[in-house]
Amino acid sequence: MKPHKALSAILMLFASLYLATVARADNSESADRILLLLPDDVNFSDPGVTLWLDAASEEGLHVTPIHDSEFIRPSFESPVCAGIILPGSLHKQASDAFLAGIRTYVLAGGKLMLVYDAGTLSPEGKYARDRSRLSDLAGVEYALYDNLREKTIAWGNVSGTIASFRELAIPPGKYYPFEPETGSSTVSTPDDLEAELKRYGYGDLKYPSLVTEGIYSGRVLLHSGSTIVAGEHRYEKGSVLFVNLPLAYLKSNTDGLLLHAFLKYFGEHTLALPYLMSVPDGIGGLVLNWHVDSNAAIRPLQELLSWTPLLQQGPYSIHITAGPDARTFGDHLGFDAEHNPLSSELVRHYVRLGNQIGSHGGWIHDYYAAHADTADPAEIEPLLALNQAALERLGGKPVVEYSAPAGNQPPWVTRWLEAHGFLAYYFTGNSGMGPTHGYRNGVRESATLWEFPILHLDRAAAFEEMKPEGYSDEEVEHWLNAVAEFVADHRTVRLVYFHPPGILPYKQVVMNWLQLTARLRAETKFRWYTMADLAGFLNSRSQVDWNLSRRGRRIRLDATHPQSLEHFTWFLPAASFTKPKVVSGSATLKKAPGGWLLFAGRVTHIEIQAEVPAK
């Protein structure tokens, strides 16, 4: 027998043994868990690990870190799981024996998410000859170091079809061009139209990928020129989601959207797992974040009081720079929230309407924006304290939301916010994401604060940026409608921001947008949220303890919360659940596209039982 055929026969034997082990393990807790495979010398508290775990928790999935030696056991009693992730960076080096175990798992029907440079180096730190040892699993040749040397990795724009971006739940505007998912705002563009990932304000967005060669054997999700950036394909009885991007590195440096997107895609689409939603009652919505910089906002804030449809909706997060100056000390161009009677009454009036008042930087907008990251923090901290204290006196309640003027938020500011009782902050990094625990320079920025990244239209985000960047009123309206439909359809949250002077020329655009959001609200598909309300919900959500267990075809979901499970919602995919029913506690099941929505009642424990669909 030829060597390669002998190896194939051995692997198939291992696969059959593994499959038999999995079949015997139907009586299992955490049947929905995804295993994150790590070298034995990696600590689970390493930030490169915790960022995966944080992302999984935020997406409502169960990811469990596990060392290689525990996964690949000589007795074939591998831990039961729904799928496995072989991460890049942390698992760049791997032995042939370990990779053979991964291959065995997939041959037996397992699902693998293979990330970037995972397994491309031997334990001695050398590239394999010709191509990656996992090229067969990836479905394409890559890590071609012998041939390409310093050109093994290439930077380029990342493109895909509109259909692919929708599958990955990337919001419109973060990819461009775009179309609303329902096509209700304009004539629909074909799903196979190519679009490209974009970033706010800084020109082209380029990502590093390992150059690929040859014909890809699966379905391409994203590409960069001829290089496969992401795709999924069958491999014997299993399947492989190949993501040719340094996901963990990107998230650790304020670009976490793609790690979250592919993790959610793997859990929801590839594995058909249930997930805990990140919005109250499963209702998606928007945070509309107003930034009041100076006295130039006084007249616009007065005019906005006449925009009745705007005031009838909400609440909104209104952030104010409260001092008497705006550009330099003594210029008297500031909003002067406490001492200008017009400013004081405007703040009180918007508070009475139910809006959340937040702090926009420190006391003097332009000066703060120019010096927050260059001056001694001891000089800038008093400005932050002045701003917070003034707004708390005026609004009559704690100020717990923050936005940085010009987006300038050095890490010391985040630490200051955490120490002074803030719950959430606007952020220009991680654009396109929902609320998240932010990482920067490889570490998590805060133990408690929620970061609210902005959503943008291609290169622009605030209204006053739209015309200079060349976007027509029709395209701005098109984008706003698409964003509202996106959060409603995906039952998620995003943040859009503006300055009051910049919104005035867009009155009719906003009125048309508010007609759509009013209709979606009436259909119980949309809400306006404040940062503070969502941060409180998400903090409570972190106390939900839930798990999935299976015995034969019977599957059970248990969930508990120390106070109440009310307002928490799960999605149960029809591909994995049939005949779900509530057997303990108070909950409601509602049929939804692709599965069921599970709404918990005002109880501390629920139990749901269902059956796995017959094959």
CA distance 502 to 29: 54
Confidence of residue 29 (pLDDT cuts 50, 70, 90): low
What mean pLDDT is predicted for residues 374-380? Answer: 96
Phi, psi torsion values for 407, nearest 5 degrees: 70, 15
User: What are 166's two structure tokens?
Assistant: 């929708």
First to last CA, the chain: 36
The reply to whether 314 and 237 lie within a common domain is no
Residue type, 419: A
Q: What is the CATH number of the domain that holds 16?
A: 3.40.50.880
Residues 370 and 511 in one domain: yes
Question: Are 448 and 399 in the same domain?
Answer: yes
For residue 38, tell me if it sits in a domain: yes
Contact 403, 426 (CB under 8 A): yes
Q: Is 382 exposed, middle or buried (0-12, 13-18, 19+ CB in 10 A)?
A: exposed
Nearest to 421 by CA among 448, 381, 383: 448
Residue-level pLDDT at 75: 53
Burial of 200 per CB tally in 10 Å (0-12, 13-18, 19+) = buried
> Is position 485 within any domain?
yes
Percentage of residues in the chain with pLDDT exceeding 90?
A: 87
- Residue 517 sits in the same domain as residue 401: yes
Nearest-angstrom CA–CA distance, 171 and 289: 18
Task: Give me the pLDDT at residue 190, please.
Answer: 67
Residue 589 has pLDDT above 60, yes or no: yes
Residue 179: predicted pLDDT: 75
Please check whether residue 358 lies inside any domain of the structure.
yes
Q: Which amino acid, one-letter code, is at 26? A: D
- The whole-number pLDDT of residue 19 equals 43
- Chain length of the chain: 615
Containing domain of residue 247, as a range? 3-158+205-276
Q: Are residues 492 and 386 in the same domain?
A: yes
Please state the rounded mean pLDDT for residues 228-249. Answer: 97
Give residue 189's pLDDT: 56
Query: Which pLDDT does position 77 carry in this prediction?
Result: 59
Rounded-to-integer distance, Cα 266 and Cα 241, Å: 7
Nearest to 512 by CA among 486, 469, 457, 473: 473
Q: List the structure tokens of 199.
A: 């970033």
Are 557 and 533 in a shared domain? no
- Tell me how far CA of residue 471 lies from CA of 85, 465, 474, 478, 516, in angstroms: 40, 9, 8, 11, 21
Q: What ranges make up the beta strands (E) of 236-387? A: 238-243, 275-276, 285-292, 317-320, 356-360
589 and 443 in a single domain? The answer is no
Q: Are 334 and 321 in contact (CB under 8 A)?
A: yes
- pTM of structure: 0.93
Q: Is residue 116 part of a domain?
A: yes
Helix (H, G, I), strand (E, B) or coil at 459: coil
Beta-strand ranges (E) seen in 430-533 are 439-440, 443-444, 450-453, 493-498, 527-529
More confident residue, 146 or 532: 532
Q: What angle do the packed helices 377-395 and 411-419 form, to 10 degrees?
A: 40
The verdict on 604 and 475 lying in the same domain is no
What pLDDT score was predicted for residue 296? 98
* Across 123-132, 246-255, 444-453, least confident range: 123-132
Residue 153 sits in the same domain as residue 233:
yes
Structure tokens at 377: 């923090």
Of the pLDDT bands very low, low, confident and very high (cuts 50, 70, 90), residue 126 is: confident
Q: Are residues 458 and 605 in the same domain?
A: no
User: Residues near 575 by Cβ (< 8 Å), separated by ≥ 6?
Assistant: 272, 594, 595, 613
Q: What is residue 74's predicted lDDT score, i.e. its pLDDT?
A: 61
Mean pLDDT of the chain: 92
For residue 3, pLDDT over 50 is answered with: no
Query: pLDDT value at position 31?
Result: 87
Q: Could you give phi then psi for residue 454, rounded to 5 degrees?
A: -80, 160
- In total, how many domains does the chain have? 3
Alpha-carbon gap, residue 29 to 26, rounded angstroms: 9
Decide if 182 is inside a domain: no
Q: Note the pLDDT of residue 507.
A: 98
Of 507, 537, 567, the domain-final residue: 537
- Tell which of 522, 537, 552 closes a domain: 537
Residue 583: exposed, middle, or buried by beta-carbon count in 10 A (0-12, 13-18, 19+)? exposed
Residue 549 and residue 564 share a domain: yes
CB atoms within 10 A of CB 421: 11
Give yes or no for a contact between 86 and 262, defined as CB atoms under 8 angstroms apart.
no
pLDDT tens track for 411-433: 999 999 999 999 999 999 999 99
Query: Binning pLDDT at 50, 70 and 90, where does residue 184 land?
Result: very low
Q: Residue 565 maps to which CATH number?
A: 2.60.220.10
Is the residue at 186 inside a domain? no
- Whether 27 has a pLDDT exceeding 70, the answer reads no
- Could you tell me the CATH number of the domain that includes residue 368? 3.20.20.370
> Does 172 have pLDDT greater than 70?
yes
Write down which residue in 276, 298, 328 finishes a domain.
276
Q: Is the pLDDT of residue 1 over 50?
A: no
Per-residue pLDDT at 28 exceeds 90 = no
Identify the band that residue 23 occupies on the pLDDT scale cut at 50, 70 and 90. very low
181 is a domain residue: no
HEC assignment per residue over 549-579? EEECCEEEEEEECCCCCCCCEEEEECCCCEE
**Calpha distance 485→499 (Å, rounded):** 23
Q: Tell me, yes or no, whether 223 and 119 share the same domain.
A: yes
Determine contact, residues 395/343, Cβ cutoff 8 Å.
no
**For 258-275, what is the mean pLDDT?**
98
Per-residue model confidence as pLDDT tens digits over 460-509: 999 999 999 999 999 999 999 999 999 999 999 999 999 999 999 999 99
What DSSP designation does 78 have? Answer: P
Supply the pLDDT for residue 180. Answer: 61
pLDDT, residue 11, reads 46
Structure letter (DSSP) for residue 172: B
Q: What is the pLDDT of residue 30?
A: 76
Torsion of Cα atoms, 437 then 443 then 447 then 451, to 10°: -30
Q: Is residue 486 part of a domain?
A: yes
pLDDT in tens, 301-334: 999 999 999 999 999 999 999 999 999 999 999 9
Q: Is the pLDDT of residue 73 over 90?
A: no
Decide: residue 176, CB within 10 A, 0-12 exposed, 13-18 middle, 19+ buried.
Answer: middle
Q: How confident is the model at residue 201 (pLDDT cuts 50, 70, 90)?
A: confident
**Three-state SS annotation for 427-451:** ECCCCCCCCECCEECCEECCCCCEE
* Cβ density class 207-219: b for 16+ within 10 Å, e for less: bbbbbbeeebebe
For residue 80, pLDDT over 90 is answered with no
Binning pLDDT at 50, 70 and 90, where does residue 577 land? Answer: very high
